[in-house]
Every structure is written in structure tokens, then in C-alpha cells.
């Protein structure tokens, strides 16, 4: 099966479409990160909603890498306003926050831990039908949350997923003017997440020809455009913006693997995309050495990039990390703190639902070793 719930509106000035989308709604709540206010996109969005004849209320200051506590903090404000349309204006963090707020706004009484995938061996309670329409307007080019069925939240420094088609946005508006204002680091971290989404989605056990098409296009776009995008090149940023959503469509269907499982459980160390970029080479080598299927799939990606085989792909990824200035894990966290958390991270990563899709099923010990190698930069 290949599916996509979200209607995608793309192109320069696509933000204007909010005017149409907000028609027939009475109370529109916009959730935004501070940069969207600072760069004037929030006030534009508010104007479009008003022009549509709806009442608008905005909440700003939504933080990056959201936690369950953030949902608890903002939920009362959502309930008080009683919106009939939710608009998420920001990066993956804002979109994920809005998705989770929608769950608890539309279905009060649910508990995060009963509906999230806390452990791949347990079955979370199904999320009931949710009614409030959600429009996602990404300002980064990375998470793919504008089309995905997932919301990723931290609890105790570790990330867990809520996954249900109910939270996949009804509409995604991709306006390439928004990611133009990303600082270089945000563009890099989110942009490398696109690469990881493409590569992981291409190599899971449930990838199909349709998800492959989206994954390959996204991977090729990252290799061709990420560096120019980091320099602020407009065309390159636009390409990266669309590639991000394509990779989102790929993993919506084909899911993700060990690299995301590892970065979710190391979320306390740093930004999501950056951790993924650091772990990816270790995961590729691990998978390729143990699985003929994984080798074949990495070889296919390599050939699409005019490289010989998975080893050359691995090398190209390491070099891309270096050229874009991805730090070593040891530069992000001191050894003692890391070693104290190592066992717990490996255990929790082993229990992450995404492990089931990875081409190789790792043991807890193997995951621990991968974390260690990544730490030592071996
Ligand atoms: P992000 O965490 O949403 O944004 C990082 C920072 O970039 C923000 O703090 C924001 O600063 C700034 N920023 C964003 N857009 C900007 C712009 N246009 N101009 C200037 N500054 C901007 O980054 P992200 O990589 O998109 O999202 C990462 C999150 O997504 C993680 O929590 C990860 O777990 C999640 N994720 C979710 C999925 C999914 O399927 N749901 C998939 C992958 C990752 P201000 O706060 O100052 O505005
Ligand atoms: Fe990701």
C-alpha cells in the first residue's frame, strides 16, 4: 500500500492559500515558533485568516524538540480558544507539537503513555477519530512532519512517537520563502535529516516502488543541493524544501530504522537532524555488513548517485558530514555523562518501534557498541 492523506500546495507565495483554506472556519488557531513572528510570516498568516472572515488567535514561542510538558503547558490555551482549524507554522518541532495538541484537544482524557509507542512489544491504545482540521506550514526543510502520521515528543530526555493517520495534516503549504530565513545550522541539521529519511526509508523491510521513488528523489536532491542551500542559494533552498516533504512521504509509507531509533533515545544530547547525521554512517556499515538485502539496497542508492557501491556511498556520506561541519558526538556531550546513559539508551533504542523495520534486528549489545563507536568517532 502507498498512501498520502495530505493535500500539498507548493510554490512561492503559497502561504497566501491560507485565505482559501480558512474559509468556512470560524476560529483559527495559529501555533508558531518565534522566528516566524520575527520574520513577519506570522502576521502575514494572521492577515490571510482574517481576510477569510475567521477569527484568529496565535500562540508563539513554541520550543524546539518538544516534550510532553510542552503539551501540558499549551493545551489549556487551545481549549480556551476552541479553534475549528489548527495551523502549525514552524519547523518539525512546531508541527509535532500541534499534532499532539490536536490529539488531546479533540480527544480529552487520553494519556500520552497509553497512546504513544513507548515500547515496540506493547500495543498502544488506538487514537479515536479526531475532528479538527490541521494545516502544516513548514519553515524548515527536514522533518517531513507536514505529511507524516507521527508526532515525536520527549519524555525524560528520550523521544517517543504517537503514530496515527488521524494526525497527518489535511493540508501542507510549502512556501520556499519560509526556509530562506533558516540560519545555516538549522538548514544543515534539518537538511541532513532529509538524507537520513531517504536512506532509511529506502532500506526498510516495508519499502515499495512508490516509496522508493520519493526516497531516491529526496536523496539525490540533498546531495545535489544541500551545500548551495547552506550558502543561502534560493533555488537550492527551494529544492531542499520540496525534497524534505518527498522524504516525508517516503517514510510515511516505508517507515524508518535503527538510525532514528538511536537518535530518539539520545535526544537529550542535541538536535534531531544532527544526531541522525552523526549516527547514519555507523548504522549503514552495521546493516550492510550483516544483511545482503541492505547491501543491495545501499548499492542501488549508490548507483543512483553515480557511485560504485555501498562503501562509496558510506564514504560520500562521511565526507558530506565533514564538509557541512557536523561535529563529533564527543563535542556535544562529555564522556562521563554519555557513559552513564549508554546502557539505558541502548536498551530503550532496542525497544523503539522502528527497530522492526530496520533490515537487521540488532541486539541491545550491538546498539550499545554502535553508540560507543559513534562517541569515539571510530
Ligand atoms: P525545529 O526543531 O523545528 O527548528 C529548530 C530551530 O530552528 C527552531 O528553534 C527555530 O527557532 C528555528 N527555525 C525554524 N525555522 C526557521 C526559519 N525559517 N527561520 C529562522 N529560524 C527558524 O527543526 P526541525 O529539524 O524541522 O524539527 C526537528 C523536530 O522534528 C525534532 O523534534 C524531531 O524529533 C522532529 N521530527 C519529527 C518527524 C515526524 O514525522 N513527526 C520526523 C523527523 C523529525 P525559533 O524557536 O527561534 O523559531
Ligand atoms: Fe527525522
Question: Residue 378 has what pLDDT?
Answer: 81
In ligand 1, which atom is closest to the CA atom of 41?
18
Q: What ligand has the least distance to the C-alpha of 201?
A: 2
Residue 1 lies in a domain: no
| Cα(63)–Cα(178) distance, integer angstroms | 18
Domain boundary (178, 211, 228) is at: 178
Alpha helix (H) residue ranges in the chain:
18-21, 34-38, 41-51, 68-81, 92-106, 112-115, 184-202, 209-230, 234-254, 258-265, 272-290, 292-304, 310-323, 335-350, 364-376
Is 88 within 8 Å of 31 (Cβ atoms)? yes
Ligand 1 site, residue 200, Cβ cutoff 6 A: no
Enumerate the β-bridge partners of residue 87.
30, 135
Residue 227 lies in a domain: yes
Residues 191 and 91 in one domain: no
Ligand 1 site, residue 181, Cβ cutoff 6 A: yes
Sign, CA dihedral 282-283-289-293, equals: negative
Residues 29 and 108 in one domain: yes
Question: Residue 122 has what pLDDT?
Answer: 87
| H/E run at residue 136 | strand 133-138
Residues 160 and 194 in one domain: no
Residue 2 lies in a domain: no
Low-confidence ranges of the chain (pLDDT < 70): none
CATH number of the structural domain spanning residue 326: 1.20.1090.10
| Cα(90)–Cα(288) distance, integer angstroms | 36
Domain limits for position 221: 182-376
| Cα(256)–Cα(198) distance, integer angstroms | 9
Residues 142 and 198 in one domain: no
Residue nearest to atom 36 of ligand 1 (CA): 143
Question: Residue 363 has what pLDDT?
Answer: 98
Instruction: State in Å: Cα 141 to ligand 1 middle.
Output: 9
Instruction: State in Å: Cα 352 to ligand 1 middle.
Output: 22
Q: pLDDT tens-digit profile of 49-80?
A: 999 999 999 999 999 999 999 999 999 999 99
pTM for the structure as a whole = 0.98
* Three cell numbers written together for 87: 495551523
Residues 205 and 352 in one domain: yes
**Backbone phi, psi, residue 291, to 5°:** -135, 125
Residues 244 and 116 in one domain: no
Instruction: State in Å: Cα 312 to ligand 1 middle.
Output: 30
Residue nearest to atom 31 of ligand 1 (CA): 65
CA neighbor of 19 nearest in space, from 209, 203, 173: 173
Residues 351 and 222 in one domain: yes
* Three cell numbers written together for 283: 548504522
Ligand 1 site, residue 211, Cβ cutoff 6 A: no
Q: pLDDT tens-digit profile of 128-147?
A: 999 999 999 999 999 999 99
Residue nearest to atom 39 of ligand 1 (CA): 145
Grid cell 497512546 is found at: 115
Residues 112 and 234 in one domain: no
Ligand 1 site, residue 142, Cβ cutoff 6 A: yes
Instruction: Look at the chain and report how many structural domains it folds into.
Output: 2
Instruction: State in Å: Cα 291 to ligand 2 middle.
Output: 23
Instruction: State in Å: Cα 145 to ligand 2 middle.
Output: 9
Ligand 1 site, residue 83, Cβ cutoff 6 A: no
DSSP summary character for residue 330? G
Q: What ligand has the least distance to the C-alpha of 190?
A: 1
Amino acid at each position: 500500500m502507498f498512501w498520502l492523506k495530505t493535500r500539498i500546495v507548493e510554490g512561492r507565495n503559497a502561504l497566501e492559500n491560507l485565505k482559501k483554506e480558512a474559509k468556512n472556519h470560524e476560529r483559527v488557531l495559529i501555533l508558531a515558533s518565534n522566528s516566524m513572528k520575527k520574520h513577519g510570516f506570522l502576521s502575514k498568516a494572521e492577515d490571510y485568516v482574517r481576510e477569510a472572515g475567521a477569527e484568529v488567535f496565535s500562540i508563539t514561542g513554541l520550543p524546539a524538540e518538544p516534550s510532553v510538558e510542552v503539551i501540558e503547558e499549551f493545551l489549556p490555551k487551545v481549549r480556551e480558544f476552541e479553534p475549528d482549524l489548527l495551523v502549525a507554522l514552524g519547523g518539525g518541532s512546531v508541527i509535532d507539537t500541534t499534532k499532539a495538541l490536536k490529539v488531546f484537544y479533540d480527544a480529552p482524557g487520553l494519556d500520552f503513555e497509553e497512546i504513544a509507542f513507548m515500547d515496540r512489544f506493547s500495543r498502544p491504545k488506538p487514537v479515536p477519530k479526531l475532528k479538527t482540521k490541521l494545516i502544516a506550514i513548514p519553515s524548515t526543510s527536514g522533518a517531513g512532519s507536514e505529511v507524516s502520521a507521527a508526532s515525536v515528543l520527549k519524555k525524560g530526555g528520550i523521544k517517543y512517537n504517537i503514530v496515527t493517520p488521524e494526525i497527518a495534516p489535511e493540508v501542507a503549504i510549502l512556501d520556499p520563502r519560509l526556509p530562506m530565513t533558516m540560519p545555516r545550522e538549522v538548514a544543515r541539521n534539518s537538511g541532513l535529516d532529509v538524507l537520513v529519511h531517504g536512506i532509511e526509508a529506502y532500506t526498510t523491510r516495508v519499502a515499495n516502488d512508490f516509496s522508493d521513488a520519493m526516497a531516491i528523489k529526496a536523496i539525490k536532491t540533498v546531495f545535489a543541493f544541500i551545500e548551495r542551500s547552506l550558502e543561502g542559494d534560493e533555488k537550492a533552498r527551494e529544492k531542499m524544501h520540496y525534497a524534505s516533504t518527498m522524504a516525508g512521504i517516503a517514510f510515511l509509507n516505508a517507515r524508518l530504522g535503527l538510525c532514528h531509533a538511536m537518535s530518539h533515545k539520545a535526544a537529550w544530547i542535541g538536535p534531531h537532524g544532527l544526531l541522525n547525521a552523526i549516527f547514519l554512517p555507523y548504522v549503514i556499515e552495521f546493516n550492510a555488513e550483516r544483511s545482503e538485502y541492505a547491501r543491495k539496497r545501499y548499492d542501488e542508492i549508490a548507483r543512483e548517485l553515480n557511485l560504485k557501491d555501498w562503501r562509496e556511498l558510506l564514504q560520500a556520506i562521511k565526507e558530506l558530514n565533514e564538509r557541512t561541519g557536523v561535529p563529533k558526538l564527543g563535542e556535544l556531550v562529555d564522556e562521563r555523562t554519555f557513559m552513564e546513559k549508554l546502557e539505558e539508551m541502548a536498551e530503550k533504542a532496542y525497544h523503539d518501534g522502528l527497530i522492526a523495520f530496520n533490515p537487521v534486528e540488532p541486539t541491545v549489545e550491538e546498539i550499545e557498541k554502535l553508540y560507543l563507536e559513534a562517541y569515539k568517532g571510530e
